[in-house]
Amino acid sequence: MNTEMQYFETDDLPFAAFLKTTGKLRFYRCESRAGNRIAFLFHEDETGKGDQLNEEFLSGAEVPAASFYEAIRTLRRLMSTKQTNRSNHEYHESHR
């Protein structure tokens, strides 16, 4: 049995908010990427349905507006925190 956790990653904020709103993939965390980008990681199951959910989203899937808005706010707050922490780390590294 493979117990290694697999993750689905996207840097698309609206799609990440859709995933968070639907709960079809469970949010794990956000991580810094090159070029000041932020990636959102979701727990993925062995069927690898992340790409299928992206197609569903792009095809006009609907979610409750208030829940989607709250997910956007939450993810933006996490992005801001991650970017601030990254900037602080880079500043301290450059002044050693």
pLDDT for 95 beyond 60: no
Could you give the CA distance from residue 77 to residue 53 in angstroms, rounded to a whole number? 24
For 38-94, how does the pLDDT look when each residue is reduced to its tens digit (9 = 90+)? Answer: 999 999 877 889 999 999 999 999 999 999 999 999 999 999 988 887 666 565 566
Q: Order of strands across the sheet with 37-44? A: 6-10, 37-44, 26-33
Residue 32: φ, ψ to 5°: -75, 145
What span, in angstroms and rounded, lies between the C-alpha atoms of 96 and 85? 17
Alpha carbon 30 to chain centroid distance?
5
Cβ neighbours, 10 Å, residue 35: 6
Q: Which two tokens stand for residue 28?
A: 């794990």
Measure the CA–CA gap between 23 and 75, rounded to whole angstroms: 14
